[in-house]
Amino acid sequence: MLDSIKQFLGEIEHFASHKKEEIEQFRIKFLSRKGIIPQLFEDFKQIPSEKKKEVGQILNTLKVKAQEKLDFLLQKTSENDEKSKLLDLTLPAESLNVGSRHPVSLIRNEMVEIFARLGFTVSEGPEIEDDWHVFSSLNFPENHPARDMQDTFFIEKNGDINDVLLRTHTSSVQIRTMEKQKPPIRIIMPGRVFRNEAISARSHCIFHQVEGLYIDKKVSFADLKQTLLYFAKEMFGEKTQIRLRPSFFPFTEPSAEMDISCNCNGKGCNLCKYTGWLEILGCGMVHPNVLENCGIDSKVYSGFAFGMGIERIALLKYHIKDIRLYFENDIRFLSQFR
């Protein structure tokens, strides 16, 4: 009896199949009521008692091994069934959801297109900058309070934290372009900017700007005004009016801030705080010092510049209520801009 048990053990060990019928045959042969193993247990009763211990142990092992093998093979075949379902080529395809562009990207692209129609091309510059390109070359004197309007993040380099910083505006790209390129220059400069001003939950340290620059002989304030009027009408509709208010920027003289007429037509609403106007950008005639800093003769050339925040333009155009929505990645918000 011991020999035949050992033989069955070998047989069980070597049995393998992925066919359900063969596995069922295996079960019937060894484990069913009239199968080999119950039969062996029947025979076990007859053997002499001094052999019972040894035979009993190996018989139990046989039973356990047979059951384990059966369970293992059944588990495998059902996994294969699942897999073959996944490979069923006749199943309908899973639908793919088409994404949408972020409103900030949509507005940036639209701005690039509008200015492209006026002959402006796109220039880009680095986000990690130095003091010269962000402040000094733009006519911010060292220690001048104008620098306080734009606190930034300083990056340590060789123990010195003063000369490596994140740009606070895209105006630095004006300088980088004028250093490389001689007039005429007609460019717009979209990009990400950084400010250290987490004063409230609503303020943000990262946002986007589009800067514009036009340098040539005989460029006047009238050119600036007409260019920006064209932009406002293209972006916000034919009926849009603009208003220029005197302002101050170190890199322009004269400087102005531009408002567009509010949709409420001057009746006054929450958006325009009952003024009828919405501020959208800063602009002015490029300061002669800035031109000279870039090696451009300010007696021969003149030009205008402007800069605006993309988030703000998108907010006004799409009536977005809260700028935090831009950063939350909520699909219910984002999918509205198809």
Q: Catalog residues that contact ligand DAH under the rule CB under 6 A.
A: 169, 171, 211, 249, 252, 282-284, 305-307
State the minimum distance, in angstroms, from the CB of residue 206 to ligand DAH: 14
Q: Using an 8 Å Cβ cutoff, are 152 and 179 in contact? A: no
Closer of 37 and 175 to ligand DAH (Cβ): 175
Closer of 169 and 312 to ligand DAH (Cβ): 169
Q: Which residue minimizes CB distance to ligand DAH?
A: 307
Closer of 23 and 138 to ligand DAH (Cβ): 138
**What are the residues facing 193 on neighbouring strands?**
207
Closer of 140 and 236 to ligand DAH (Cβ): 140
Closer of 137 and 252 to ligand DAH (Cβ): 252
- Which residue type, as a one-letter code, is found at position 135? F
State the minimum distance, in angstroms, from the CB of residue 221 to ligand DAH: 12
Give me the residue label for tokens 């219910």.
332
Closer of 139 and 171 to ligand DAH (Cβ): 171
Give me the residue label for tokens 């004028």.
178
State the minimum distance, in angstroms, from the CB of residue 306 to ligand DAH: 5
Rg of the chain, C-alpha, whole Å: 39
Q: DSSP assignment of 220-251, as one string?
A: -HHHHHHHHHHHHHHHH-TT--EEEEEEEETT
State the minimum distance, in angstroms, from the CB of residue 308 to ligand DAH: 7
**What are the residues facing 212 on neighbouring strands?**
188, 306
State the minimum distance, in angstroms, from the CB of residue 261 to ligand DAH: 21
Q: Using an 8 Å Cβ cutoff, are 305 and 186 in contact? A: no
Nearest-angstrom CA–CA distance, 154 and 147: 14
Run of H or E residues at 133? helix 131-134
Distances (CA, A) of 48 to 44, 57, 322: 9, 15, 90
